[in-house]
Amino acid sequence: MRLVYMDYSATTPVKEEVLQEMLPYFTEKFGNASSIYSTGRQAKHDMDAARKRIADHLHCVPEELYFTSGGSEADNWAIKGIAKARKSKGNHIITSKIEHHAVLHVCETLEKEGFDVTYLDVDEKGLVDPKAVEAAITDQTILITIMYINNEIGTIEPIVEIGEIAKKHQIIFHTDAVQALGNLRIDLSELPVDLMTFSAHKVYGPKGVGALYVRKGIRIPNLIEGGAQERRRRAGTENVAGIVGFAKAVEIAYDQFDEHVERLVSLREKLIEGLIAAIPDTRVSGDRDQRHPGNVHVCFKYIEGESILLSLDMVGIAGSSGSACTSGSLDPSHVLMAIGLGHDIAHGSLRLTIGDFTTEDDIDYILEQLPPIIDRLRRMSPLYEEAKGAK
Amino acid sequence: MRLVYMDYSATTPVKEEVLQEMLPYFTEKFGNASSIYSTGRQAKHDMDAARKRIADHLHCVPEELYFTSGGSEADNWAIKGIAKARKSKGNHIITSKIEHHAVLHVCETLEKEGFDVTYLDVDEKGLVDPKAVEAAITDQTILITIMYINNEIGTIEPIVEIGEIAKKHQIIFHTDAVQALGNLRIDLSELPVDLMTFSAHKVYGPKGVGALYVRKGIRIPNLIEGGAQERRRRAGTENVAGIVGFAKAVEIAYDQFDEHVERLVSLREKLIEGLIAAIPDTRVSGDRDQRHPGNVHVCFKYIEGESILLSLDMVGIAGSSGSACTSGSLDPSHVLMAIGLGHDIAHGSLRLTIGDFTTEDDIDYILEQLPPIIDRLRRMSPLYEEAKGAK
Amino acid sequence: MYTEIVMDHFTNPRNVGEIENADGMGEVGNVKCGDIMRIYLRINADEIIEDIKFKTFGCGSAIAASSIATVIVKGKAVKEALQLTNKQVVDALGGLPAVKVHCSVLAEQALKAAIFDYAKKFGKEYPELEGFDPDADDDHHDLIEEIGEF
Amino acid sequence: MYTEIVMDHFTNPRNVGEIENADGMGEVGNVKCGDIMRIYLRINADEIIEDIKFKTFGCGSAIAASSIATVIVKGKAVKEALQLTNKQVVDALGGLPAVKVHCSVLAEQALKAAIFDYAKKFGKEYPELEGFDPDADDDHHDLIEEIGEF
Ligand SMILES: Cc1ncc(COP(=O)(O)O)c(C=O)c1O
Ligand SMILES: Cc1ncc(COP(=O)(O)O)c(C=O)c1O
């Protein structure tokens, strides 16, 4: 059966060149990067080189990047860390209703511990309004955390404006850039951002590796304490293979950046337009312009997402409904609720995300397979029946 | 040059069979384990199978194992988690002076947050006295955390006795078993342990993967919050390749357990006896019987550890002085202080740890290379000069 | 995740559709939860379920549970159909993931609701329906979700 | 971690040893810190360092720093030797990791202590030694450690 992977925002395969660069670190070059002998020093050297390779592409200093076990850890560390470090200055945090759960759940926990959190509304395209950010600031505000690109509907947030506001009010600004890495050029020498979260497995690197950027001069307490790794900021024997793979993946992403974006955007537009044309009552979510190059997010009225996914899976198409992280629960996604969709529409959501291995043929195949699936499910649905009756 | 790796307690190479089992998960089987389509379900299936493979060898239920990014994270999670969960019951924690920094630093942080921590003394072999544990218990005690095997001097702690005491007093008992996995048979259906920490890279699995065992019925708050992974207890896209590699490594370890232990013990004894015979003023640390099968830890009076390591490295021998995690600082190790060594002796410590790829020849080579190195450094040392003068 | 039986009933659901002027019709669930099941019954004078159809808005297991429930009770006496439990539905499907067990509950409830409607219309009394409220909004969904699974 | 020069001076340290009846002898550091440096001087009537020897208990960079310091000042006038800074030692070694910079400080101090001893014995006065206390236990070790490095 033909296999069409359309869930690059959930995770990506490790690119062959990335894997090749990782391999020696499992077996020959396996030394502990904290050790003094040659294999250890070699590991440390290559790990620090990896840090520099990534820093160069993001235009920051290598010492501002700390490796973590992924995006979730980095989000937890950043937010809990700033909350703890600046507790004496205030107890108010500003975020949005459409953040990843790694941000939202941390904020909810902080609320239980006495912090006040403002969860900003977004408009129908998922955009946070910088004016609303500024209006929410109080003299207690210590942190603003707004994501760079939403993982579900692909909307790119106005983080430059938000960051400028944070700067003006001397408030720390964190952004979850997990979906932005490799899909937007990120220039940390220009961006008004204090902390930024990254994850390797969204850019053709390995799972279980990420990084937190912490601008020089900002101190946060450790989330994982113990050994002196990562300049004493993040304990645990370093995953050198993963870190080197991460660096290679970032390099490839930015070396081939223009071509990557152009290809993805063209496939994305073809798919969105094709779906609108072929399937009635299709609603495109998110902003059509300020959008992740590979994100296609649509809602099909009257039917439920999981049954779409299962049907797609049976013809070899892998998609998601809401964030991959939450698809275990299949509750209507908080993001779709926040952009004002009714439950009936939100439940019928489908996210297809395009990546570097997606072809024109894949898009054609989806446009051929999906319409009859939607039709079949709708004909089984009591809601469709009612809607038709009403017309 | 001949290369003799003697730092298996710091980290191990990934065994070829382990790597082979990991490889498909980077490229073909790269699906997100939280996804609904086939490649995702496959990943989830294999990950849960890995959990079961490990659980079977440890005689626990798979649902009692949660994967983490390593031993440090698991230690942090266990201790901070119990402290938070049982805060209302009491604020006292009992540990020892020779724990890994991932335990000690967490305890120190908890002290700042209002917890009382008793750091128990150990005897000159590094053994914690169960009676001292019992004596330290107050009506505020909520957690006892004592490691299974000390990473530096290799002493095996009496965790069964300690666990029984904890049980009697209805106190949670956590043990860091990072060095025990693969080197002791661990039967969680028998052991009186509530939480146990593991790390893959110490048993020929990959770095950046570990696990926390949490006995059924015990609830701890999450350390890393976000997505619903690991039954909602540990967020972050699962490192499936790493987890599968971990399982394979544990399987190999226990399938070849008797042979492994026998070989290591025989090489260990040969090396210890050889060093004592060849080098005057050599002091063996730790318990000679209750000992990690591969641990050789000695102190050479009058000289400093790093210069021994550098000299060894120049003839291709990789060893460590104190824990690999702390060797960045080269402060006299807290473990050696705790067993009562003076600074002069503690600074001259050398840990050589034997593993599955160590040969008799390697031991012979070390016994040939090390004595002249010690002699040369001693002749450079003002302390040696004085000591000789005094004799 | 799903058994072959579930996938079969999801892909080729039996008894999909409507019955015009049904003798009993029941609907349970709501859009909020993401599952709505509607069951139509044609019942003859001997109180035998002659025909049964369903329409379902919901996930794969909701569709499969509806389908298999209709198969189980079709041709049975109403009194017998009232004995249907969600456990039977789960077993007939060869099992359901823990987070999906609520779908089998919905199928049981939808059938009961349809029989309730029939009883009301035709003045029948069934002790099994004592206390049954077709509009009750059980929170079994969240309840079961908490159990979770790997 | 270490430059080739450091490794060279660690492996083949110059001027290791003692000088019997030295004109000056200084020792700094302590066992607690893990570094002890002792320097012996033979100084002639023209106040030229004719010979210098050292003994060091310490890490690779402590040994290398001692060695290179002796090389730098051997044959120099005492007044010139007093100009030696730890920075010069670091530079001569081609650099030291941040956590090891204190070794270069020790070398500078050990030399000063030896000259201090010489000055005391021979009734010399050097303004450069004003306020110098050979027994002061500077905490430069911890201080520098905090800077850290990757
Ligand atoms: C006893 C002990 N605990 C914890 C750890 C930390 O494990 P990891 O490096 O996987 O974080 C180690 C090794 O570094 C160890 O030896
Ligand atoms: C926006 C966003 N933040 C955080 C994460 C979490 O990253 P990780 O899976 O590496 O923990 C993800 C993906 O899962 C994401 O899309």
User: Chain A contacts of B239, Cβ < 8 Å?
Assistant: 69-70, 206-208
Best A34, A35, A36, A67 residue to mutate vs chain D (most D CBs within 10 Å): A36
Whether residues A228 and A279 share a domain: the answer is no
The reported pLDDT for the residue numbered B388 is 79
Asked, for residue B2, whether it belongs to a domain, the answer is no
Tokens 């208990």 map to which residue?
Answer: D57
The reported pLDDT for the residue numbered B391 is 62
- Please choose, from the candidates D43, D54, D38, D20, the residue with its C-alpha nearest in 3D space to the C-alpha of residue D122: D43
Neighbours of B115 (CB within 10 A): 20
Instruction: Select the residue of A11, A26, A105 nearest B225 (Cβ to Cβ).
Output: A105
DSSP secondary structure code for residue A95 in this structure? E
- Residue of chain A whose alpha carbon sits nearest to that of D147: A231
Q: How far is the CA of A240 from the centre of ligand 2 (A)?
A: 21
**Per-residue pLDDT at B323 exceeds 70:** no
Do residue A239 and residue B207 have CB atoms under 8 angstroms apart?
Answer: yes
Whether residues B249 and B378 share a domain: the answer is no
The average pLDDT across B44-54 equals 97
Q: What is the pTM of this model?
A: 0.94
| Tokens linked to A379 | 């004909």
Distance from CA of D149 to the nearest CA of B (A): 9
Q: How far is CA A17 from CA A205, A208, B60, C51, in A?
A: 10, 18, 39, 61
Q: How far is the CA of B197 from the centre of ligand 1 (A)?
A: 9
Phi and psi of A298, rounded to 5°? -135, 155
Give the gyration radius of chain C's Cα atoms: 14
Neighbours of A1 (CB within 10 A): 7
User: What single letter denotes the amino acid at residue A231?
Assistant: R
- Of A238, A255, A272, which closes a domain? A255
Q: What is the pLDDT of residues B269-319, one digit of tens each?
A: 999 999 999 999 999 999 999 999 999 999 999 999 999 999 999 999 999
CA angle in degrees (0–180, nearest 5) for A65-A68-A69: 155
The average pLDDT across B333-350 equals 90
Q: How far is the CA of C12 from the centre of ligand 2 (A)?
A: 36
Phi and psi of C91, rounded to 5°? -60, -45
CA dist., res. B224 & res. A341, Å (int): 30
The reported pLDDT for the residue numbered B30 is 97
Say yes or no: D1 contacts chain A, CB-CB below 8 A.
Answer: yes
Q: How far is CA C140 from CA A26, A329, B85, B307, C85, in A?
A: 47, 14, 28, 67, 15
The reported pLDDT for the residue numbered B210 is 98
Asked, for residue B10, whether it belongs to a domain, the answer is no
Give A106: exposed, middle or buried? Use CB within 10 Å, 0-12, 13-18, 19+. buried
Phi and psi of B120, rounded to 5°? -70, 140
- pLDDT > 70 fraction of chain C, expressed in percent and rounded: 91
Whether residues A319 and A360 share a domain: the answer is yes
Do residue B26 and residue A40 have CB atoms under 8 angstroms apart?
Answer: no
- Please choose, from the candidates C16, C14, C19, the residue with its C-alpha nearest in 3D space to the C-alpha of residue C44: C19
The finding on whether A152 has its CB within 6 A of some atom of ligand 2 is no
Best B37, B229, B231 residue to mutate vs chain C (most C CBs within 10 Å): B231
User: What single letter denotes the amino acid at residue C120?
Assistant: K
Whether residues A263 and A321 share a domain: the answer is yes
User: Chain B contacts of D19, Cβ < 8 Å?
Assistant: none
The average pLDDT across D119-124 equals 96
Do residue A324 and residue B34 have CB atoms under 8 angstroms apart?
Answer: yes
Asked, for residue A4, whether it belongs to a domain, the answer is no
Residues constituting chain C: 150
User: Chain B contacts of A13, Cβ < 8 Å?
Assistant: 26-28, 30
Whether residues B264 and B120 share a domain: the answer is no
Q: What is the pLDDT of residues B125-161, one digit of tens each?
A: 999 999 999 999 999 999 999 999 999 999 999 999 9
Residue C59 known to be catalytic:
no
DSSP states along B246-298: HHHHHHHHHHTHHHHHHHHHHHHHHHHHHHHHHSSSEEE-S-SSSB-TTEEEE
Neighbours of D16 (CB within 10 A): 17
The reported pLDDT for the residue numbered D143 is 37
Best A301, A302, A306, A388 residue to mutate vs chain C (most C CBs within 10 Å): A306
Contact B124, B340 (CB under 8 A): yes
Instruction: Select the residue of C1, C148, C149 nearest B41 (Cβ to Cβ).
Output: C1
Contact B233, B212 (CB under 8 A): no
pLDDT band at D140 (very low <50, low <70, confident <90, very high): very low
> Which spans in A229-315 are helix H?
229-232, 240-255, 257-278, 305-314
- Please choose, from the candidates B195, B198, B194, the residue with its C-alpha nearest in 3D space to the C-alpha of residue B183: B198
Whether residues B96 and B134 share a domain: the answer is yes
- pLDDT > 90 fraction of chain C, expressed in percent and rounded: 78
User: Quick one: CA torsion of A313, A315, A321, A326, rounded to 10 degrees?
Assistant: 10
Asked, for residue B5, whether it belongs to a domain, the answer is no
Number of domains in chain C: 1
**Per-residue pLDDT at C150 exceeds 70:** no
Whether residues B198 and B343 share a domain: the answer is no
Contact C68, C15 (CB under 8 A): no
B367-387: burial string, b at 16+ Cβ within 10 Å, e else = bebbbebbebbbebbbbbbee
CA dist., res. A364 & res. B206, Å (int): 40
Cross-sheet strand order for the sheet of C35-43: C24-30, C35-43, C49-57
Instruction: Select the residue of D32, D60, D99 nearest B307 (Cβ to Cβ).
Output: D60
Asked, for residue A6, whether it belongs to a domain, the answer is no
Q: How far is CA A356 from CA A275, A324, B261, C60, in A?
A: 21, 19, 48, 30
Whether residues A290 and A372 share a domain: the answer is yes
Asked, for residue B7, whether it belongs to a domain, the answer is no
B123-157: burial string, b at 16+ Cβ within 10 Å, e else = eebbbbbbebbbebbeeebbbbbbbbbbbbbbbbb
Give the pLDDT of chain A (391 residues) as one tens digit per residue: 899 999 999 999 999 999 999 999 999 999 999 888 999 999 999 999 999 999 999 999 999 999 999 999 999 999 999 999 999 999 999 999 999 999 999 999 999 999 999 999 999 999 999 999 999 999 999 999 999 999 999 999 999 999 999 999 999 999 999 999 999 999 999 999 999 999 999 999 999 999 999 999 999 999 999 998 999 999 999 999 999 999 999 999 999 999 999 999 999 999 999 999 999 999 999 999 999 999 999 999 999 999 999 999 999 999 998 633 334 455 678 999 999 998 878 889 999 999 999 999 999 999 999 999 999 999 999 998 788 776 6
E strands present in chain A: 4-5, 65-68, 92-96, 116-120, 141-145, 172-176, 195-199, 210-214, 282-284, 295-300, 317-318, 349-353
**Per-residue pLDDT at D141 exceeds 90:** no
The reported pLDDT for the residue numbered D1 is 79
Contact A6, A366 (CB under 8 A): yes
CATH assignment at residue A363: 3.90.1150.10
Number of domains in chain A: 2
Contact B66, B258 (CB under 8 A): no
Q: What is the pLDDT of residues B203-218, one digit of tens each?
A: 999 999 999 999 999 9
The finding on whether A79 has its CB within 6 A of some atom of ligand 2 is no
Distance from CA of B256 to the nearest CA of C (A): 29
CATH assignment at residue D138: 3.90.1010.10
Q: How far is CA B35 from CA A6, B27, B228, B343, C97, in A?
A: 12, 16, 12, 56, 14
Give the gyration radius of chain D's Cα atoms: 14
**Per-residue pLDDT at C123 exceeds 90:** yes
Q: What is the pLDDT of residues B6-21, one digit of tens each?
A: 999 999 999 999 999 9
CA dist., res. A212 & res. A230, Å (int): 11
Asked, for residue B76, whether it belongs to a domain, the answer is yes
Domain coverage including residue A129: 16-255
User: What single letter denotes the amino acid at residue D150?
Assistant: F
Counting other chains too, the contacts that B118-121 makes at CB distance below 8 Å and 24 or more residues apart are B118/B92, B118/B93, B118/B94, B119/B95, B120/B94, B120/B95, B120/B96, B120/B146, B121/B96, B121/B97, B121/B338
Distance from CA of D98 to the nearest CA of B (A): 11
CATH assignment at residue B22: 3.40.640.10
User: Chain A contacts of D149, Cβ < 8 Å?
Assistant: 231
- How high is the mean pLDDT of chain B? 95
Helices and strands, counts by H and E, chain D: 6, 3
Contact D36, D30 (CB under 8 A): yes
Whether residues B200 and B334 share a domain: the answer is no
Give the binding-site residues of ligand 1, using a 6 Å CB cut-off.
A 236-237; B 70-72, 75, 100, 102, 147, 151, 176, 178-179, 199, 201, 210, 325
Whether residues A126 and A197 share a domain: the answer is yes
In the structure, do chain D and chain C come into contact, i.e. share 3 or more CB pairs under 8 Å? no
Whether residues A263 and A247 share a domain: the answer is no
Inter-chain contacts counted by CB atoms under 8 A, chains A and D? 14
Q: How far is the CA of B246 from the centre of ligand 1 (A)?
A: 15
Do residue C150 and residue B232 have CB atoms under 8 angstroms apart?
Answer: no
Whether residues B120 and B150 share a domain: the answer is yes
Q: What is the pLDDT of residues C107-118, one digit of tens each?
A: 999 999 999 999
User: What single letter denotes the amino acid at residue A256?
Assistant: Q
Asked, for residue A5, whether it belongs to a domain, the answer is no
Domain coverage including residue C137: 4-147
The finding on whether A147 has its CB within 6 A of some atom of ligand 2 is yes
Distance from CA of A180 to the nearest CA of C (A): 30
Instruction: Select the residue of A41, A228, A230 nearest D1 (Cβ to Cβ).
Output: A41
Q: Which of D19, D103, D107, D114 is catalytic?
A: D103
Q: How far is the CA of D8 from the centre of ligand 2 (A)?
A: 48
The finding on whether B237 has its CB within 6 A of some atom of ligand 2 is yes
Contact B51, B175 (CB under 8 A): no
User: Chain D contacts of A51, Cβ < 8 Å?
Assistant: 150
More confident residue, A390 or B164: B164
Q: How high is the ipTM of this complex? A: 0.92
Say yes or no: A160 contacts chain C, CB-CB below 8 A.
Answer: no
